[in-house]
Every structure is written in structure tokens, then in C-alpha cells.
A and B are shown apart, each in its own frame.
Chain A
Amino acid sequence: MEALFSILIGLFFAAAIYLLLSKHTVRILLGVALLGNAVNLLLFTTGRLTREVPPIIPAGMETLPSGAANPLPQALILTAIVISFSFFAFLLVLTYRAYQELGTDDTDEMRLAEPRDEQLPPVGY
């Protein structure tokens, strides 16, 4: 099963990176969203896969039943999902604001901080 997941995750990464490599902020944004899922699945798979038994200790027992899922990657991913959502929201608003201010979503045109014809700093003391 892990091999199948590996292939699926490879596809996720390839799609995310392909989108990230484009010049347009909207596509980059979509890429970031996919990249988050790709990384989460990667973490999930490295903790090994089990079917359907959640890591919850049944009443009357002290430890997990055998065959339960690995709880550690789940805990890591749970917070990662929320963080990547916040990150996504921030990037979304940044894209939106950049478009409003600069009138473009082409990253080549966004040169406010690094103008194309930037002069060297003056030589002085």
C-alpha cells in the first residue's frame, strides 16, 4: 500500500511544483495549496499505513489495540493542516492586495522592491 501512496504523493508533488513554477500568482497559490496536501500525505505515509483503526484507546484498555494507526504523524499533520491553511489565507490576501496595488498577477511585473533599472548605492562614507 505504501508504494501506491508513494506514487500518488509523487503526483501531488509534481503537480504542486509545476504550478509553483509558473509566473502567475494565482497558479502559485493553487500550487501552495497542493504542496501542503502533498507534504501531509508524505508525513502520513512515513508513519506507515493501517486501515480504519483510529489511534483511540478503547474503554477499559490501557493501550492501543494492535493494528491501530500510528498517532504521531497524525498529531504532526493535524497542526500542519491548520498552519498551512493560515499560510494559504495569508498568501491569498497578499496576492489579492498585490493585484489591487500593482494591477498585475505576473510576478515579473512585481518589481517594486527590486526595480529593473536599480542603480548601485552611492559611494560615500
Chain B
Amino acid sequence: MNTLILRTVAPFLTALMLLFSVFVLLRGHNEPGGGFIGGLIAASALAIYGIAFGVSAVRRAIRFHPMAIAGSGLLLATLSGLISILSGVPFMTGLWVYPVIFEVEVPLSTVMSFDIGVYLVVVGAITSIALALEQNEGES
């Protein structure tokens, strides 16, 4: 797809959407949003980038194979659940800590890391599917 407009807009659009996806992910616990939605937004962003500049550009940009991202997400989500067992409460029980960073209390939790895991799985798996299909087109 060689339209000039898309090529000009795509990098900004992708960057903006990726930022927005992280925003949606992190505010998900208290406002509309969360890992699934954030992941889908990020995957769309990468898909747009791929349509504009080709699959190899996306692969270079994200550095890791998308399925590796998905795998690390699944690992993170599983570990978030397992931490609870180590602390002596049932699997998947949410644990919270409130460290103070730069004089701001930042609530952190295994629930959040679990949601980040969901985000990574969705980004990775869906990007992988989209890229696989786009790439195939490029070849034939």
C-alpha cells in the first residue's frame, strides 16, 4: 500500500495508538479499559504500521518475534498467579504493595502484572496473525 498519506501519517498514528494502548491498559482497573482492549489497540497500531511500511519494518521495530511477546505475557500472567501460592494464599489471589516513589504513593499489584500479561499475549498473538497474513501477501 503505497499511498503517500498513509505513509506520512502511519508512524505518528502508530506511536499515538501504542501510547494510548498503554494508557488504556493501566487505567483499566478503575476506568473503562484493561489488558484485552489495550492489547487489541496496540495490535491494530502495529497492523497499520505493517500495511504502510511492510512486514519486515514492523518486525524490525518490535525487535522480538510477536509470539515471543505473547509467550512472555503468558509467563508473566502465570507467575503473577504463582506469587500468591508462595505467599501462602490460593492461586491467583491479588496481592498489593504501595511503595512511595518520588513522594507519590504508587499502588502496585499482582493483579496489574496479570493484566499486563494479558495485554502482551493479546498484542503478540494478534500481531503475529496479522503479520503472517500480510507477509504472505507480500510474497505472492
Query: Which residues of A approach B to under 8 Å, CB–CB?
Result: 54, 56, 78-79, 81-82, 85-86, 89, 93
Contacts and interface: CB of A to CB of B under 8 A. Distances in A.
20 contacts: A54-B32, A56-B30, A56-B31, A56-B32, A78-B34, A78-B36, A79-B36, A81-B36, A82-B36, A82-B40, A82-B122, A85-B126, A86-B125, A86-B126, A86-B129, A89-B126, A89-B129, A93-B129, A93-B132, A93-B133
A85 B18 CA distance: 20
Contacts of B31: 56
Contacts of B126: 85-86, 89
A54 B33 CA distance: 12
Nearest to A57: B30
A85 B130 CA distance: 12
Query: Which 10 A/B pairs are nearest by Cβ-Cβ distance?
Result: A89-B129, A82-B36, A78-B36, A82-B122, A54-B32, A56-B31, A86-B125, A79-B36, A56-B32, A93-B133
A54 B32 CA distance: 9
Contacts, number: 20
Given A56-B30, A56-B31, 17 more contacts: A54-B32, A56-B32, A78-B34, A79-B36, A81-B36, A82-B36, A82-B40, A82-B122, A85-B126, A86-B125, A86-B126, A86-B129, A89-B126, A89-B129, A93-B129, A93-B132, A93-B133
A83 B56 CA distance: 27
A83 B34 CA distance: 16
Contacts of A85: 126
A58 B115 CA distance: 22
A86 B125 CA distance: 9
- Which of A54, A78, A81, A82 is packed against the most chain B CB atoms within 10 Å? A82
Contacts of B132: 93
A5 B125 CA distance: 33
A54 B132 CA distance: 37
Contacts of B125: 86
A85 B122 CA distance: 11
Contacts of B122: 82
A78 B37 CA distance: 9
B22 to A, nearest CB: 18
